[in-house]
Amino acid sequence: MKNQRVLLLVEIAIFAALGYILDIIGFGMPQGGTVTFVLVPVILIAFRRGIMAGIITGFLIGMLQVVTARFYAAPLSLEIVILQVGIDYFIAFMVAGFAGLLRPAFLKAYENKDKMKMATAVITGAFIAAFLRYLAHVTSGILFFGEFAGNQNVVVYSFIYNSTYMIPVFLLAAFVCVILFIKAPRLILPNKA
């Protein structure tokens, strides 16, 4: 039992480090935001070990970004910056762990050798991860980055701005995870790895 707990903690640490590295590697969009593969390790650990492991991994990715000063803070007071950074770098990655909601559907499809249902579960899980992260960034945009909207409605601006990079992030994560999970389903099965 203790060895299993240690193994889980090691896996979470490895996936968090991988997520941090994959978030460095990416390409910036012309209007801002970066398209990276950061969601892939969070989705993978959430499917492998469950929602809580995904949430903890997301938290650690946010922590790594903050302690290494790889974050953008709104030009506001310290108290407000702490809240903004909490939403954009902790909550945004933590909620991606809810991709694990589709873990049971994936495992059932795997047992039935139904690759289409496996892919559907993975894509849906990736969508949940990306959509919840998107909502966190939209909320932050509305609350803390309204000055960038100019004369536009800040809510509409935040929805559009964040979709310009989060849609590609979702598509990349879904594509990579489907290939990984279908071609190497043992990645999701901790007892078989």
By residue range, what is the domain housing residue 76? 2-187
Q: Is the pLDDT of residue 77 over 90?
A: no
% of residues, the chain, pLDDT over 70: 97
Tens-place pLDDT, residues 11-51: 999 999 999 999 998 888 777 788 999 999 999 999 999 99
pTM of the model: 0.92
Phi, psi (rounded to 5 degrees) for 156:
-65, -45
The pLDDT, as a whole number, for residue 193 is: 47
Phi, psi (rounded to 5 degrees) for 113:
55, 40
Domain count across the chain? 1
Dihedral over Cα of 77, 82, 83, 88: its sign: positive
Tens-place pLDDT, residues 85-140: 999 999 999 999 999 999 999 999 999 999 999 999 999 999 999 999 999 999 99
Q: Is residue 192 part of a domain?
A: no
The pLDDT, as a whole number, for residue 74 is: 76
Q: Is residue 162 part of a domain?
A: yes
170-174 long-range contacts, CB within 8 A, separation 24+: 170/39, 170/126, 170/127, 170/129, 170/130, 170/131, 170/134, 172/35, 172/37, 173/37, 173/39, 173/40, 173/43, 173/126, 173/129, 173/130, 174/122, 174/123, 174/126, 174/127, 174/130
Q: Is residue 193 part of a domain?
A: no
Q: Is residue 88 part of a domain?
A: yes
CATH at 173: 1.10.1760.20
The pLDDT, as a whole number, for residue 63 is: 96
Q: Is residue 179 part of a domain?
A: yes
